[in-house]
Structure 1
Amino acid sequence: MSFMKIPVIEARTAVRGVLLSALLVGCGNGTSGGRPDTPPPEAWKTLNGEAPLVTGHRGASGYLPEHTLASYTLAIEQGADFIEPDLVATKDGHLVARHEPEISTTTDVASKPEFADRKTTKTVDGVPVEGFFASDFTLAEIKQLRAVQPRSYRPQDQNGKYEIPTFEEILALAKQKSAETGRAIGVYPETKHPTYHADIGLPLEDKLLAALEQAGLTGPDAKVILQSFEVGNLQYLRQKTSLPLVQLIDADGVALDGKITLAPPFDKPYDFAKKNDPRTFADLLTDEGLSFVAGYADGVSPWKRYIVSAQGVDADGDGEADDVNGDGSVDDADRTSLAPTDLVARAHAKGLFVHTWTFRSEAMFLAGDYEASPATEYDVFYRLGIDGVFSDFPDEAVKARARLGL
């Protein structure tokens, strides 16, 4: 495999130092199963020695419908350092915050008879997807929709109350809340499915940079981090901006023994798949892969199981993880956390900060040995030296960070 570096703009190194010293980032030294009452480490073991960053994942999406101004506001009120908008494009070229281009699970579009004829099937990252797509709606039409909570086990009482925000509205909110709170609120946008958007004539990157430029968020003091699961668009952005860039790292899941599994479309950046590049997401986390990433990005953001995985139990020998707690489903609560990998240390050695995702407080997302305590999971990752976490429940992440008392 050939990991060829691309040219990097000269301002990058200087800006990285300024930006990273302004960001809250993470540390730690621990093993799986650590408990919040364990004495705190003597110092943060993050890349810059400061506290780990807390980003409200889609806002405070554990409490309110995701990607709404209300959800972002709540995350800020709960102490999040950054808020994270996922960006997709409308038919008329506006950037709005939705987790996917397909919007039927996160809006009430399916209940709108006037839009019934917009239901269609499109191919996203090589997979046919049926539903309603933001790219088939103008911004004016998107503004007629309201957000809904896509996860049935979370509160549904706020469904239908909130508009779909534009990127500009989110930037304005961060500016307003920064003034109100006296602390700089960062914005951590993700370009969603950039190849898909480019293929339909709605590329995201220049629109993103134009919005940031208009908001005055392009210089070394801007509290903005840009992220993507694809590589090519980050390389393009590297030539256009000195803002920190982050390579997201996905996976399909974990095997019974806790090993990461890779299956399309979660096995590799889709731009790699499209050009038959054999490298997988896991390849980008080898020493060679991290050197490649460091050629265009400032940080790497892997799924948390690359850092601390969890293994299942197969008492009946069928090769499948058992429902250990007998709740009728097999999830993280039926697994036991494994010893951490050395990924954080290896990435730090390449000069890359490490953010990881997604932290959720429901028991089904917590390894069984954490005993349904999200505080325990945060404690484990913070002690490992993680530079930042994405959380659906930013208040829990902030409290866990504060408890270490550094």
Structure 2
Amino acid sequence: MKCCSAASVSVLLSSSLLLLPLLLLLSTQEAQGLDFNITADRKTLSGATPLIIANGGTSGLYPDQTYPAYTDAMNTSSLPLSLLCDLQLTKDNLGICRTGLNLTQSTVSPYFNVTNTYVVDGVPVFGYFSVDYTLAELLSPNTTAVQSNFARSPIFDQVYNLFTPETLGSVQQGSPVTFWLNVEHASFYQQHPGKNSLASYLTNLVASPHISPAYLSATEVGILKLIGPTAKKSGTTLILKILQPTDVEQSTNTTYGTLLQNLTDIRTYASGIFVPKTLIWPIDNTTLYLQAHTSLVQDAHKAQLSVYAYDFANDQYPNSYNYSFDPIAEYLAYVGQPDFSVDGVLTDFPSTASEAIMLWNHGSTAGPEPTQSSSKLVISHNGDSGDFPGCTMLAYTGAISGGADYIDCPVQITSDGVPICRESADLLQSTNVATNHALFQNFLSSYPGFDNGTQGVFTFDIPWADLSTLRATISSPLGPGISRNNGNDNTEAILTLAEFLQFAKNNSGVGIYIDVQNAVYLRTFHSLDIVDAVINALKTANLTSETDKVLIASEDSSALVAFQQAMPYHQRVYRVPYLDPNAVTVTPPEIKNYASFVAIPKQLVDPLNDFSGTPPSYFLAAATQVVKQAHALNLSVLYYWQENEFQAFAFDYRSDPILQINSLVSFHNVDGIITDFPATVYDFLHKNQCYKPTLSMMPANYTMLTVMPGSFLVPVAEAPAPALQVVEPPISFEVPVPASSPAPSPTVVKPSAASKLSLTFTSTLAFASLLLCILL
């Protein structure tokens, strides 16, 4: 799959402009007969459903304040919805919708040949400014928007033209969608391009009977008071936008913190306040934990002021660890409290706010309670490893409290044969071994045929007596760019498999998922029988009957065959290793002979398109058929593994893990999800109103967006993949390892990741080949 070129995207959007009247008509038809102010115990000032304010449309996906951004917001959000335009004035004293005073990072134009330095709020600002260009120049077909957030996809850059407030205002006519105009740097625009230029422009716009904004927010008191009489006649709601408490409000020369101390005075010239979300829920900058919420919302409501919160974005980092990287949890902190709710939220991702307000906190401040059962399995990945150091008592306790059906132990083994629960055989990834100089110096090594030859401190080189002195640390699989909460590092002990099994047995009802890793490699090159160690641990824990809720997984077919013989009552899971999809072809599988589940890696279910494009898109490629193929063989499918961090999945999912989970369940129809964040998956399956098939969508008939793989791409024919040859002989776990078989030294060349699989796995690997075939 190849990414669309800018030219092809432009052609598509040019034709889609013809759909705007139809989109508005559909919005109007959906609105008929529906009450968007159903109170149902909402704690907003009016008792109405909180307003979703789309910040320049869906600006988390498209360049903000462009046609597709606004249209996408209308088509994927619930009501009530308002589309926000950030006002800038042009050289001829007309309005344009752009973010920020400086156009440098948001707009590209051949007319940009004049740079200037203006003093704004007492600070010199250098760049391109709207007041130096005419509206005709800024609306030129050659003047285009770019994504101003560098963490987001640039695929739509220089494709879409700019919007005016007048165009956006016309959208709300005959539609339940409203128009919100935001005015910043009012003192600057009052002088540029001419004296009283802002007041003149706003007076004309607000007085217009067809395009006046439903809401007008401004950061300065003076302009709100000036426009107040006109706004009162037109019905425009005036809102004071609050900056940081120590910032100075220019027209009164006082701080915003001082203004907030007299809410009743604000009520004399505004109907509400627009505040940074951290003024409601402060965050400790050191720990990134939430502090106690302030009384700002309640105090403002007592003064009859609405409260709108801003700065919501799914891809915001850092954010509070209390939310577990789940934006739904963050929104519910503002709209789902038993004693307060904000009256609206400004967000770059309005579809996610819609999910939180309409599907999780559907008309109730009691919080989302379980609404249904689900046959889909929630299986932890290293316990609740998104929040705690993996494979520890904290992580497993968190996974159980989060609703996991199964808690997992990825089994590694020590040099003296003790099976333990560790995320990886390399202790550098999730323990404090690097601070233990003796162990680090004595055991740091690399094996060319294992873990890509990476240097590490491996469990199979260290006896349990030494390894047990280590403590666990949290692993951040996406690298240092997004770190998980390390507040519990170096506090939790390493667990043996025996301790894990006893803990699971003490928590009645939770299942046990044992992931046996590197079995063939360990037996062949280190004389360590991890399969036998697991079997003995299960027998010792008396977990051998058909009533025990145990799943045993491995990427080695020989290991699964051995478990089938020794533990016939336990179901087995073949975990497909991720190999290059271009290196295999489709051949008949036989894995169903020794496994009833197959765990498929994310790369095979949700492949990304070719990264080689300029710029790379990181959008989904066309849908694969791997889950359907497994189901056709009567195999249940587990997806591994799901993470909440926005960098963990394609841009198609709008930095929203809920949309990805919805796709896995509703589109791909997986039977279970292995996840670092069990509570997020559980809440989706059991607490959101959209997933319950029998529930009528009320009050806005809102259903969750279904992401279609490949919708942003143009299909390109691909060459047939070559066959993969497997030549390694099988290994039997029933035959003792010869005493003369030495463990390899770090200089010995080991088999590759592919060849370490057994020959009895030839047909099994063929199944992996089947799953790895992206295009049928």
Whether 1:54 aligns to 2:378 is: yes
% of aligned pairs identical? 24
Which among 294, 303, 308 is matched to residue 592 of structure 2? Answer: 294
Which among 577, 585, 592 is matched to residue 250 of structure 1? Answer: 577
Cα distance in 2 for partners of 1:119, 1:344 equals 40
- Residues 352-367 of structure 1 mapped to structure 2, 5 A cutoff: 352-367=635-650
Whether 1:374 aligns to 2:657 is: yes
Contact 2:412 2:421 (C-alpha < 8 Å) held by counterparts: yes
- Give the corresponding residue for 2:685: 401
User: What do residues 126-166 of structure 1 show as CA deviations (whole Å, max 9, x unaligned)?
Assistant: 84232212122221211100111232421122111111100
Bigger RCO of structures 1 and 2 (CA < 8 A, at least 6 apart)? 1
- For residue 345 of structure 1, report the CA deviation from its aligned partner: 2.4
- Residues 83-122 of structure 1 mapped to structure 2, 5 A cutoff: 83-115=407-439, 116-122=441-447
- For these two proteins, the number of residue pairs brought into alignment is 315
The letter of the residue matching 1:369 is: D
- Give the corresponding residue for 1:307: 605
User: What do residues 86-135 of structure 1 show as CA deviations (whole Å, max 9, x unaligned)?
Assistant: 11111211101112222112111121123222222234448423221212
Cα distance in 1 for partners of 2:518, 2:449 equals 8
C-alpha distance 321-297 of structure 1, shift in aligned 2 (>3 A) = farther
After TM superposition, the structure 1 stretch with the greater mean CA deviation from structure 2, 208-217 or 355-364, is 208-217
Cα distance in 1 for partners of 2:582, 2:607 equals 11
Cα distance in 1 for partners of 2:445, 2:548 equals 39
- Give the corresponding residue for 1:175: 505
- Give the corresponding residue for 2:404: 80
**Unaligned segments of structure 2, at least 5 residues:** 1-350, 360-372, 694-776
C-alpha distance 361-210 of structure 1, shift in aligned 2 (>3 A) = same
User: What do residues 156-178 of structure 1 show as CA deviations (whole Å, max 9, x unaligned)?
Assistant: 22111111100011111111122
The letter of the residue matching 2:605 is: I
- For residue 339 of structure 1, report the CA deviation from its aligned partner: 4.6
Whether 1:70 aligns to 2:70 is: no
Cα distance in 1 for partners of 2:641, 2:557 equals 21
- For residue 67 of structure 1, report the CA deviation from its aligned partner: 1.3
SS at match of 2:539: helix
- Give the corresponding residue for 1:385: 669
- For residue 379 of structure 1, report the CA deviation from its aligned partner: 0.6
- For residue 321 of structure 1, report the CA deviation from its aligned partner: 5.9
C-alpha distance 287-244 of structure 1, shift in aligned 2 (>3 A) = farther
Which among 472, 496, 500 is matched to residue 166 of structure 1? Answer: 496
User: What is the aligned-residue RMSD (CA, Å)?
Assistant: 2.4
- For residue 246 of structure 1, report the CA deviation from its aligned partner: 0.9
Contact 2:374 2:685 (C-alpha < 8 Å) held by counterparts: no
The letter of the residue matching 2:409 is: P
C-alpha distance 356-126 of structure 1, shift in aligned 2 (>3 A) = closer
Cα distance in 2 for partners of 1:310, 1:122 equals 31
Which among 626, 630, 633 is matched to residue 343 of structure 1? Answer: 626
The letter of the residue matching 2:609 is: Q
- Residues 190-229 of structure 1 mapped to structure 2, 5 A cutoff: 190-198=515-523, 199-229=525-555
Contact 1:124 1:193 (C-alpha < 8 Å) held by counterparts: no
Cα distance in 1 for partners of 2:606, 2:623 equals 5
Cα distance in 2 for partners of 1:246, 1:86 equals 13
Cα distance in 1 for partners of 2:555, 2:572 equals 11
Contact 1:250 1:303 (C-alpha < 8 Å) held by counterparts: yes
SS at match of 2:550: coil
Cα distance in 2 for partners of 1:248, 1:197 equals 17
- For residue 249 of structure 1, report the CA deviation from its aligned partner: 1.2
Moved over 4 A (4+): 34-39
Cα distance in 1 for partners of 2:402, 2:623 equals 29
Cα distance in 2 for partners of 1:301, 1:339 equals 21
- Residues 136-155 of structure 1 mapped to structure 2, 5 A cutoff: 136-151=461-476, 152=480, 153-155=483-485
- For residue 58 of structure 1, report the CA deviation from its aligned partner: 0.6
Cα distance in 1 for partners of 2:423, 2:614 equals 29
User: What do residues 40-75 of structure 1 show as CA deviations (whole Å, max 9, x unaligned)?
Assistant: xxxxxxxxx961100111101111111112111111
Whether 1:186 aligns to 2:186 is: no
Whether 1:322 aligns to 2:615 is: yes
C-alpha distance 288-388 of structure 1, shift in aligned 2 (>3 A) = same
